[in-house]
A and B are shown apart, each in its own frame.
Chain A
Amino acid sequence: MHPNPSLTDSCLHLADDALILGHRNSEWTGHGPILEQDIALSNIALDLIGQARNFYQYAATLKADGSTEDSLAYLRDGWDFKNCLLVEQVNGDWAKTVLRQFFFSAHQYFLYERLQESKDETLAAISEKAFKEVAYHLRWSSEWVIRLGDGTDESHRRMEKAVDELWKFTGELFLPAPYEAQLAKEGYGVDLLSVQPLWKEKVNEIFAEATLTIPVEEEGKETWMQTGGKAGRHTEHLGYLLAEMQFLQRAYPGGEW
C-alpha cells in the first residue's frame, strides 16, 4: 500500500472534527438542562468519539509509523489538528450548542451520504455506519433549533445570538483543503461544493420554521467567513480544549487504565 498523503490528511481531518465536537459535547455531561437531554447529548458525543476512533485507527494504519489512535488523539499539538473552527468553539448556552450541532450534523449528513460511495473501502465502511447515526443527530438538533427559535422571546433571542456567533464558521465546512480537493479528484473523497447547496437548503428549511434569519450578504458581498482550522490555524479555544483533553496522557505518558 503506497502512502497517499491526501488520504491520510483527510482521514485525520474527519477524525479531528468528530473528536473535538465529541469532546465539546461531553463537557455538557452532568450539566444538561434536563436529564433526558443531558443523556441525549452525551450519547451524541459518544457516537462522534466512536467515529473519531474509526478514522484515527485507519489513519494510524495509513501512517504506518507507529502511530496509534491514542497517540494521534492525545499527543498531537494544536497546529497539527485539522478540525474545522466550528467544532472547537466554546459551548456557550444550550442554544449555541444545539445550533452548532445542527450546522455540523447537516454537514456530516450530506458528506457521509456521499462518502459511502468512496473508492476507498474503509472510508466507505466508516461512513456507512456513521451516516445512520448522524441521521439521528440531525433530527435531534433540528428539532431543538425549532423549539428554541420558535419558542419564547428569551429562547428566540438566544438563538439569534447563537446564529450571529456561529455563522462565520460555517463557510469553512465547504471550503476544501488542498488534501480534500485532491482526494475528491482521485475519487476517494467528496466534492464539498456539491454538498453545500444541500446544506443551505436544509438550513433554510429549518430556519424558516424556527423563525430565524440567516445573516444576509450585504451589497452583493459574501458574508465574511473565518477559516484556517483545516490547515492547523485555530482559534484560541483549541489550545484550552487540548490542554484539558490531553493533560492526563501528557502528564503520565503511556498511562493506562
Chain B
Amino acid sequence: MVELSDILKSRKEAIRAILAGVNDPEVPVLSVLDLGIIREIRVAAGDAGQGPGEGDDRPAVEIVITPTYSGCPAMDMIRMNIRMALLEKGYDQVTITTVLSPAWTTDWMSEEGKEKLKAYGIAPPHPVQQVCHTELFHRGEAVQCPQCHSYHTQLISQFGSTACKALYRCEDCQEPFDYFKCH
C-alpha cells in the first residue's frame, strides 16, 4: 500500500519539475528554483489512492513565493508564468501566495544558479553575504569578470540594468558586465 506521505512527496516532486522550467523573464537562464524564491509547495492531500496515470493526479496546489526586491517588476510576470506552466500540465486549481518574511536574500540562490549566471555573462553574488554597508566610496571585494576571469574590475554604478544588478567594467578585457548584488 502506498503511504500518504509518499504520494504527497511524489506530487511535490512533479510540481518541482514543472517549476524548474519556469524562468526569470529578465535573466532567462535562471529558473525560479535557482533564484530561491519558491518557499514552499503545498499540495492537497485529497483523492489519495487514485491510480497513477496521466490526468488522474492533479490536486489543488499552493505555491508560496518570496519576492526578490520590493519593486521587482518581474515578480508579476513570474507569478503568471508559474500559473501558466502548472495550467499547461493540467493543474487548474493553483494559488500563488506571496510572503515577505523572512526577506529573500542572495544566499538562497542555488550554486547551480550561480554557475549559470557566470556562464551567461553576469557575475554571481559573492558567497559570503555582504549587505551593502554605508561606508562610502568603499572598494568592496573584487568582483571577477565573467568574460576573462580577471579580478581587475571597477564598479561603475551600484545600480545596473535592473534593481538587482550593479554595473562593472573589466580593466583587462575592457568589457562591461553586470554583477548580481548581494542583498
Whether B158 lies near A50 (C-beta < 8 A) is no
Whether A39 lies near B159 (C-beta < 8 A) is yes
Q: Does A156 contact B (CB under 8 A)?
A: no
A115 to chain B, nearest CB (A): 12
Q: Does A76 contact B (CB under 8 A)?
A: no
The bracket for how many chain B residues form the interface is 20 to 34
Chain B positions within 8 Å of A53 at CB level? 70-71
Separation of A139 and B134 alpha carbons in the complex (Å): 5
Q: Which of B100, B131, B159, B160 contacts A125 (CB 8 A)?
A: B100
B131-183 interface with A by 8 A CB criterion: 131-137, 156-163, 167, 181, 183
Q: How many A-B residue pairs have CB under 8 A?
A: 92
B45 to chain A, nearest CB (A): 27
Q: Does A75 contact B (CB under 8 A)?
A: no
Whether A133 lies near B69 (C-beta < 8 A) is yes
Scoring A residues 51 to 70 as 1 if CB is less than 8 Å from chain B, else 0, what string do you get?
A: 10110000000000000000
Q: Which of A90-98, A140-148, A158-166, A237-245 contacts B (4 or more CB under 8 A)?
A: A140-148
A101-149 interface with B by 8 A CB criterion: 109, 121-122, 124-126, 128-130, 132-133, 135-136, 138-140, 142-143, 146
Chain A residues in the interface with B (C-beta under 8 A): 22, 36-37, 39-44, 46-51, 53-54, 109, 121-122, 124-126, 128-130, 132-133, 135-136, 138-140, 142-143, 146
Please, could you name 11 A-B residue pairs with CB atoms under 8 Å apart, sorted by A? A39-B167, A42-B159, A47-B70, A54-B70, A129-B69, A129-B100, A132-B103, A135-B132, A136-B132, A136-B181, A142-B136
Chain B residues in the interface with A (C-beta under 8 A): 67, 69-73, 99-104, 131-137, 156-163, 167, 181, 183
